[in-house]
Amino acid sequence: METDWDTAMDRIVARSRELLDRPGGWRRLGFHTSGQLFLEEYYTLAVIGKAGIGTPHMDGNTRLCTATAASALKASFGTDGQPGSYTDVDHCDALALWGHNVAETQVVLWERMLDRRRGPRPPAMIAVDPRVTPVAREADVHLAVRPGTNLALMSALIHRIVERGWHDPQYVAEHTVGFEELCRVVSGCPPERAARICDVPVARIEQAAEILGGCQGLLSTVLQGFYQSHQATASPCQVNNLHLLRGMLGRPGAGVLQMNGQPTAQNTRETGADGDLPGLRNWNNPVHIRELAELWNVEPSVIPHWAPPTHAMQIFRYAEQGSIQLLWISATNPAVSLPDLARIRRILSREGLFVVVQDLYLTETAELADVVLPAATWAEKLGTFTNADRTVHLSEKAVPPPGQARSDLDIFLDYARRMDFRDRDGKPLITWQDPESAFEAWKACSAGRPCDYTGITYDRLRGGSGIQWPCTPSAPGGTEAPTDAYPMLLTTGRTIHHFHTRTKTGRAPQLDGAAPDSWVEINPRDADTLGISEGDLILVESPRGALQARARLCPVRRGVVFVPFHYGYWDLAEGAPPRAANEVTATGWDPVSKQPLYKVTAVRLTRMAG
């Protein structure tokens, strides 16, 4: 039923206080956020959760797409934050895209790459993808690996580079540790063995190794084909190792971009609105805890640091088990985006779980909520966002939000005021009241950290094309294998016309008209074996569920099918057949990054109709 803001917020506050007044009440509240809010909003939410409530149960849908980027960067370099820049595209002589269909996931970046490829000194290009994407068609070497075998490929490439002496011994000696151990690990995986594991010609692995070993400036980009697959953290780490071996860091044209899948995913990680603490601090470092306690003027014991932060998949498990009793979901749609959707719908509908959703539309998740808060979208509010290459931008408010919608920052600030969160001196915990003052508070939190923003202001961000951090006043400037019952591997991904769960793009007539419904890509030879023709209605089944979609005969590798993950049910009539890719995906994740494994699901296909 419709209500007013006071009634809705009072209901949320009453339930929050009821839970917090119980022993261990902090563990009963959880937050699941997005990669689409502004930095100022994430930081405010992080302070509410980590200093006001003291809950470790805060993560977001960035866990689904780029948690592995953070894990790999921390493992290789000790901190999150990309050791590369988009300007490296303009200077490199080799581009390697590891599981990254940039033509459909970052279109502007792809155009920049094509500008180089059509220019006077085109860089060589390597693409790793089981599908024949626009990137694969453009590439000089396309490695159509079997899903789940990325690590074997990377180990073989490193094996060959070390064996041929194409690495930089001086750089390795001065800037790395563990070279001998790396050599030992890859020694058992020469290109010949990787070719059998990956099911690609050994000549193509050799050709890729020659490009990687002979180039003078290598730029690598990595995305979901690696992040959502088997050995998700280890494989991007091997990309990092490749650059370390060749000394391909810290100069124009030489860098790694462990990419993000959403526009503000980098901010989620920096500000602590996911499994990290604000300022890229470590929950297991007592110095970092003391720094935050002094900054926020709270007792260190309030800040959750007694165990690892709760990742998104575990948050939903706790909600399923009943230990989390209030779940606040902002700007994301887990009833379409998480694996095993039947289970997720059961959790969100569970008696005893109080669900708050703030979003632009009545999504599939909002339909299951107890309270729905209408939020403003990016063009209806003011704030900053940071690209994958650490470039900070200011997004000005273009139009007012419709009706009674409020910005996410206003919603979080309103909640904090009503909850009356206080520091240890009895003063308000959150002292800012608008985007710019929130940004200034964040700058104080970032001071001295790898993501130092202290030299950036709103005024400096106006009129330019962004500023990269760090920027200071002194320097401003489980795999799942096929079986007889489920003989094929399903991989999921994006299409250029839609974003995430189509909450916004599905309402744009041009985009919806270009890609109005889901589909199944299948190799023509597999289709012939199964009696499937172009356009046939296909039933895709896994042990968890099923979906229906029309067939597209495409040069995807044999034994693999592809389904876009964007499509849910908000625009379908009740009782429509299932079409969401995550009806069939498994509840499994990488043991390091905790990112779900969307790329390797065993399925079977059945033709339903012509």
Q: What is the C-alpha to C-alpha distance for residues 270 and 456, in angstroms, rounded to an integer?
A: 15
Q: What is the C-alpha to C-alpha distance for residues 47 and 51, in angstroms, rounded to an integer?
A: 5
Q: Which domains does the chain have, with CATH numbers?
A: 5-64+264-468 (3.40.50.740), 67-258 (3.40.228.10), 488-609 (2.40.40.20)
Distances (CA, A) of 584 to 356, 432, 453, 492, 543: 26, 44, 42, 11, 7
Neighbours of 301 (CB within 10 A): 11
Would strands 218-222 and 94-98 be described as parallel, antiparallel, or unpaired?
A: parallel
CB 387 within 8 A of CB 82: no
Q: What is the C-alpha to C-alpha distance for residues 244 and 238, in angstroms, rounded to an integer?
A: 10
**Residues linked to residue 251 through DSSP beta bridges, in sequence order:** 254
Q: What pLDDT is recorded for position 115?
A: 97
Q: Which residue has the tokens 């969401």?
A: 580
pLDDT tens across 115-164, in order?
999 999 999 999 999 999 999 999 999 999 999 999 999 999 999 999 99
Q: What is the C-alpha to C-alpha distance for residues 136 and 429, in angstroms, rounded to an integer?
A: 51
Sheet holding 141-143, edge to edge: 141-143, 124-128, 94-98, 218-222, 255-258
Q: What is the C-alpha to C-alpha distance for residues 361 and 333, in angstroms, rounded to an integer?
A: 10
Q: What is the C-alpha to C-alpha distance for residues 105 and 281, in angstroms, rounded to an integer?
A: 29
Q: What is the C-alpha to C-alpha distance for residues 260 and 494, in angstroms, rounded to an integer?
A: 13
| DSSP label of 589 | B
Q: What pLDDT is recorded for position 586?
A: 84
Full DSSP string of 535-552: T-EEEEE-SS-EEEEEEE
Q: What is the C-alpha to C-alpha distance for residues 248 and 172, in angstroms, rounded to an integer?
A: 11
Q: What pLDDT is recorded for position 136?
A: 97
The conformational region for residue 575 under phi > 0 = left, psi -120 to 50 = alpha, else beta, is: left
- Cα of first residue to Cα of last residue in the chain, in angstroms, is 43
C-alpha 561 chain-centroid distance: 22
Q: What pLDDT is recorded for position 232?
A: 86
Q: What pLDDT is recorded for position 61?
A: 84
The amino acid that residue 336 corresponds to is: V
Q: What pLDDT is recorded for position 478?
A: 40
The parts of the chain modelled with pLDDT lower than 70 are: 478-479, 481
Q: What pLDDT is recorded for position 479?
A: 41
Q: Which residue has the tokens 């509010």?
A: 381
Q: What pLDDT is recorded for position 44?
A: 98
The conformational region for residue 542 under phi > 0 = left, psi -120 to 50 = alpha, else beta, is: beta
